[in-house]
Amino acid sequence: MFCYMLNIHLILIFIVNICQGIERPLVIGHRGSAYLPELTLESQSIAHAYQADMVEIDVCLTRDNQLIVIHDLYLNAVSNVKDIYPNRSRSDGYHYVIDFDLNELRNLTIHERIIPFTNTQVYPARFPSSSSIPFHLATLNETIELLLGLSHSTNQQYQLLIEIKNPEYHSQYNTSISSILISTLQAYNLTESHHPIVIQTFHIEDLLYIRENLNSRLRLIALLTWNHLNESSSNFDFYRSEEGLQKLKTFVQAIAPNMELLVNFAADGSIINVTNLTVLAHKYNLAVYPWTFRHDTYKGNFEQLINFFHRTVQVDGFITSQPDIVIELLEKKI
């Protein structure tokens, strides 16, 4: 039954894309965009303005069970938390999101990502981390209202790809971040596969829980990487196999693998060959959305990279920090 439903959902998504004039792979703005501090409402707004087909965000829980849009479980890489709450770090020196209430987090300002405990900016060519502009953390509710508000004011359909950060970590605090997410979305009547919400996580078993236990009909994506990175307890080696993909197709619509799982690269960044993961995923009607395509850090010819993944690997979409550049390159090739 679920298999049948998922195939129908994929067809509906394809039809919607054609109706919107999208004849290229989807372009998904990673953490909003690279042009302003990640995941802020301002960064998301730029991605929407650049016509990204989806905007990807991450959510973590606060101590009072509010969903905050932030990539890390801790606050030190993107905020002034050590200045505002100098005595609230744990023994490792980090300030964790789940140790703070929402009202406390409202006091923080957000800056471009730095290496924690240094002033070294991770991506030097991006918005200066030393800027005095007071960017702030967003809640999921605010992000949803931005999405719906822009859809209303522009008469265009915007979509949101929500990554649940480390459900297993959150479960240590006797809470299900996935259940809270689904309840939040239900409050906005965002419940169906044609609604502008997609959910992804590295913990594959939570996707199964969302589908079967929470009875969600929203589109789901399985994030895939290598087991040794310990993103979750899920066995990614299994889920990348044909047997694993066959299982995934019963409850998700797509996979989002690290791009290096689709293509083997040489040490100098040149492409050696293509793996069989995309072909296998397509065999089981799973779309493929690799990550992360960063124009500002890629050492080779970025246009050739995009073209190779589009024409040779035949991916269904790109998760990228520069959605405007990827859109321009894809449409240039049509």
Instruction: Extract the tokens encoding 119.
Output: 């002033």
Query: Residue 42: its pLDDT value, please?
Result: 98
Tracing tokens 């405990």 back to the chain, one arrives at 117
Q: Are 36 and 122 spatial neighbours (Cβ–Cβ below 8 Å)?
A: no
CA distance 44 to 57: 9
Report the greatest alpha carbon distance in the chain. 55
Q: Are 280 and 242 spatial neighbours (Cβ–Cβ below 8 Å)?
A: yes
Angle at CA of residue 157, ends 66 and 137, nearest 5°: 25
Tracing tokens 């994929």 back to the chain, one arrives at 10
Query: Residue 332: its pLDDT value, please?
Result: 87
Query: Residue 8: its pLDDT value, please?
Result: 47
Query: Residue 22: its pLDDT value, please?
Result: 59
In the chain the first and final C-alpha atoms are separated, in Å, by 37
Q: Over the stretch 217-258, which tens digit does the pLDDT of each residue have?
A: 999 999 999 999 999 999 999 999 999 999 999 999 999 999
263 φ, ψ (degrees, to nearest 5): -135, 135
Q: Over the stretch 158-183, which tens digit does the pLDDT of each residue have?
A: 999 999 999 999 999 999 999 999 99
Query: Residue 6: its pLDDT value, please?
Result: 47
Judged against a pLDDT cut of 60, whether residue 20 lies above it is answered with no
Average per-residue pLDDT in the chain? 94
Query: Residue 21: its pLDDT value, please?
Result: 54
Query: Residue 95: its pLDDT value, please?
Result: 98
**Residues ≥6 apart with Cβ < 8 Å to 230:** none
Parallel, antiparallel, or unpaired: how do β-strands 67-69 and 138-139 relate? Answer: antiparallel
288 φ, ψ (degrees, to nearest 5): -125, 120
> For residue 269, how many other CB atoms are within 10 A of its CB?
11
Q: Are 143 and 47 spatial neighbours (Cβ–Cβ below 8 Å)?
A: no
The model's pTM: 0.93
Domains of the chain: 26-73+139-331 (3.20.20.190)
- For the segment 285-292, the average pLDDT, to the nearest whole number, is 98
Judged against a pLDDT cut of 50, whether residue 3 lies above it is answered with no
Q: What percent of the chain has pLDDT over 70?
A: 93
Q: Over the stretch 45-76, which tens digit does the pLDDT of each residue have?
A: 999 999 999 999 999 999 999 999 999 999 99
